[in-house]
Structure formats: C-alpha cells, structure tokens
Amino acid sequence: MTTHLHSPAVAATAVHKSYGDHVVLDGVDLDVPSGTVFALLGPNGAGKTTMVQLLSTLIRADSGQMRICGHDVDREPDAVRAAIGVTGQFAAVDGFLTGEENLMLMADLNRLPRRERWRCAVDLLERFELTDAAGMPAVTYSGGMRRRLDLAMTLVGKPRVVFLDEPTTGLDPRSRRTMWDVIRRLVTDEGVTMFLTTQYLEEADRLADRVAVLHRGRLVAEGPPEELKRQVGDGHVTLRFADPDEYDAAARILDVISRDESALTLKVPGRGDVGSLRRLLDRLDHAALTVDELRIHTPDLDDVFFVLTGDPTARQEPIR
C-alpha cells in the first residue's frame, strides 16, 4: 500500500487499439487518483469496454502505457490482476452454481485464509441482499440480482481498483438505484477506487468525482460532473411532426441535436422555460409549421455530445 501511495490508481498514456482498419482507441490519456470514482462516459461503440479490457489485462494495446497502482499492465499482468476486480457488462457468474457457491469459488481462488472463506461469503450475501437466494442456482436470479452477485464476487479478493463496465445497463429503475447505493457505500466504506463506464449522464453525475467523455476513440472532455453539466446546459426539447415535409422544413431552420426520421421527431437544445419555448414556437409558427407533440427533457448523453463535439450523429446505435 505505502509503496504506491502517491502513484495514481489508474494511469494511461497515449493508448491506441485497433481491430484491423477499425480504430477503437486513438490516443487516450487517463489519470485516476486513489480512492476516487471515475466515470468514462460514451455511447455504444465509443470504446469504453475496450478501455476496460485493456486496463484489466484481457487484451493488449497496440501502443501506449498503462499502470494500475504503479504496476505496468503489459509487463506485470499478475500484479495488476491481484490489485483489480472487474464486473463486466454481462454478469460473470457461474449460472450452474448457487450464489453462495459462486462466492466460495471466488474465496478459494483468491486463497483467503480457510477460516475466513465462509465468513466472507455470508457477509457479502448479507450486504448485497442475497441471503434469501443464497442456495438457489444463479440462473434463476433476476438481472438485478445477477449484477449484485457479480459485484459481490468481484469484492471477495479485496481489490484496490474496481472496474464496473456499464453496471446498470439493462436494469429496471429500481434495481439501478439499488446498484447505485451499493456502489456509493463501497467507496465511502472501503475507500476503493472505482472506474466505471456508462452511457447515462445521470449515472456519472450521481456516482463520479470525475467524468471523461469518450467519443470515437478520443477523450473530448474531462472534469468534475458539475463542470460537464454546466457546459451541457439544461436539456432539450423533442418535437414531433405529423407531416414529413414539415419535419424536413423544421430540420432546416432549427439547431438540431439529433433526428429520428421514422418517428418524425427532432431534438433541439432548450431549457424548457417559457421564454425559450415561446421563441421556439414563434419560429415554427413563422414558418407555418405545425408541431404534433412537444416534450421537455433533462440533459442526456445526446446533449453532451452536441455541446462537446457539435456532432448530432454521435450516437450511432440506439440505446436500449
């Protein structure tokens, strides 16, 4: 511990990774101080998972340097593996084993002192609200339970750095909030460093001390979430049109964040206050365009990308 007190938990310099012609990461620099929560924010396909796979020794970078708690990822992979825990996007649990057996498996593989193994499993089941389901095979668990078991398994080895790759993607709102509570408690109680990836601005805002935005393999912004939110502003307005021609005409005269051709909807920046809404509607009226439906939204990833990159097509795939 003491030897690496001053080295950052995660440090990466000029990391490049391509698959064939497809450049996934194009020179990424990262610096995550010990004991903090870092969120890598980006849409599907931005390279978030690749970054986690590189840092967690699953794959190798084409070039660049990465260190975890002072250990070089390339040259000392076992020292890195001993320091980290990874919870991926797809729950890495053994479905044929029960929750308790999964935790005991991790206790064995982490070679905990024999007397502590059982204790550790029981404690984690309790903490993650899995005690009732401890004796059931993990295949019977709900999505939220599997994620919690997955994270509990990651913690058996007492990792100093925990990677959470999209910890709440695909979860219902209630399970998501439970997961957030669990993550926040981990940071305050255990002082672990968290490296999480997410496509939800709200999640990064709730959990992270610092946020970096990944866009087409490069970081386009980095800072505290408040700073990011200040830059992004207050949200956007969705306009739905009944007529494709009017939709096209509106797309030409307005600042559009993103558009959905099939639903005939446009997203435009705006706080949703009376003044700015009136100006927006006046503009449409002036052009004799009729809006079928209007909705006001709090900021999301689309807004971030529009502000940071001016690129309305940042999101290449729809988000579930």
Partner 1 sequence: MSNVSSTVSIAFADSATMLRRRLRHMLRYPTLILTAAGVPVAILLLFVYVLGGALGDGVGTAGGMSYVDYVVPGVVLMTVATAAQGTAISVSIDMTEGIVARFRTMAIARVSVLTGHVLGSLIQTMLSIAAVVGVALLVGFRPTAALGEWLGAIGVLAMIVLALTWLSVALAMVAKSVATASNMLTPLMILPMTGSGFVPTDSMPTGLRWFAEYQPFTPFIETLRGLLMGTPMGDGLILTVGWCAAIGLGGYLWAKRLYNREPTR
Tokens of 221: 């912004």
Strand boundaries in 120-185, DSSP class E: 161-165
Q: Does 78 bind partner 1 (CB under 8 A)?
A: yes
Amino acid at 127: R
Mark the segment that binds partner 1 (CB under 8 A) among 33-41, 91-99, 194-202, 225-233: 91-99
Tokens of 65: 């340097």
Mark the segment that binds partner 1 (CB under 8 A) among 150-158, 241-249, 276-284, 297-305: 150-158
Left, alpha or beta for 3 (phi > 0: left; psi -120 to 50: alpha)?
alpha
Chosen residue from 14, 105, 281, 308 binding partner 1 by CB under 8 A: 105
Chosen residue from 42, 43, 64, 157 binding partner 1 by CB under 8 A: 157
Q: What span, in angstroms and rounded, lies between the C-alpha atoms of 60 and 27? A: 14
CA atoms within 13 A on the CB side of 242: 5
Mark the segment that binds partner 1 (CB under 8 A) among 65-73, 81-89, 289-297, 304-312: 81-89
Q: Does 92 bind partner 1 (CB under 8 A)?
A: yes
Q: Does 101 bind partner 1 (CB under 8 A)?
A: yes
Q: Does 111 bind partner 1 (CB under 8 A)?
A: yes
Q: What span, in angstroms and rounded, lies between the C-alpha atoms of 75 and 214? A: 26
Q: Does 95 bind partner 1 (CB under 8 A)?
A: yes
Chosen residue from 16, 81, 127, 184 binding partner 1 by CB under 8 A: 81
Instruction: Please tell me the count of residues contacting partner 1 according to CB under 8 A.
Output: 33
Q: Does 135 bind partner 1 (CB under 8 A)?
A: no
Closest CA to 39 of 173, 178, 229, 172: 229
Closest CA to 87 of 216, 217, 182, 17: 182
Q: Does 91 bind partner 1 (CB under 8 A)?
A: yes
Which residue lies nearer to partner 1 by CB, 138 or 257? Answer: 138
Minimum Å distance from CB 96 to partner 1?
5
Strands across the sheet containing 218-223: 84-87, 161-165, 193-198, 37-41, 210-215, 218-223
Q: Does 253 bind partner 1 (CB under 8 A)?
A: no
Q: What span, in angstroms and rounded, lies between the C-alpha atoms of 46 and 37? A: 20
Q: Does 281 bind partner 1 (CB under 8 A)?
A: no
Which residue lies nearer to partner 1 by CB, 50 or 238? Answer: 50
Whether the CB-CB separation of 173 and 203 falls below 8 Å is answered with: no
Which residue lies nearer to partner 1 by CB, 98 or 238? Answer: 98
Burial of 92 (0-12, 13-18, 19+ CB in 10 A): middle
- Per DSSP, what are the bridge partners of residue 98? 137
Helix, strand counts (H, E) of the chain: 11, 14
Site track 46-65 with partner 1 (rule: CB under 8 A), x = hit: ----------xxxxx-----
Q: What span, in angstroms and rounded, lies between the C-alpha atoms of 210 and 30? A: 11
Minimum Å distance from CB 55 to partner 1?
10
Q: Does 184 bind partner 1 (CB under 8 A)?
A: no
Chosen residue from 4, 13, 45, 97 binding partner 1 by CB under 8 A: 97
Query: Which residues contact partner 1 by CB under 8 A?
Result: 19, 56-60, 78-79, 81-82, 84-86, 88, 90-97, 101, 105, 108-111, 137, 150, 153-154, 157
